[in-house]
Amino acid sequence: MIEPSFYIKIRGNKYGRIKIVLTSFFDPPPTSVGFKYFINPSGSRNLEVDPHRVVDRDRIREYGLEKAIQKTLEMEKESREATEEYEKRFKP
């Protein structure tokens, strides 16, 4: 399996990564091509996952789906507020 990655910039100054997944077997014709892609809709070049925005299985098991989504939104808001506070204090 081969998985080359390419970093891209698309319309609207949004950044992302495309990974091409090539799979082949010794006996043709079973060969496949797939794509995995990540786009940051904020326009930032940062492609790291923000754990506060992930609704994971453990959170769903603990709270139920609706409450897990609400909890994720609350954590995202807290994270955003902390980032804004940091920027007010330390950025000129």
Domain ranges (residues) in the chain: 1-44, 49-92
Identify the bridge partners of residue 22 per DSSP, sorted by sequence position.
2, 33
Token pair in block for residue 46? 């940062």
- Give the pLDDT confidence score for residue 12 in this predicted structure: 82
pLDDT-flagged residues of the chain (< 50): none
Cα distance between residue 39 and residue 10, in whole Å: 9
pTM: 0.48
Token pair in block for residue 37? 């892609």
Q: Look up residue 5 and give its DSSP letter.
A: E
Cα distance between residue 89 and residue 75, in whole Å: 21
- Give the pLDDT confidence score for residue 1 in this predicted structure: 67
- Give the pLDDT confidence score for residue 81 in this predicted structure: 85
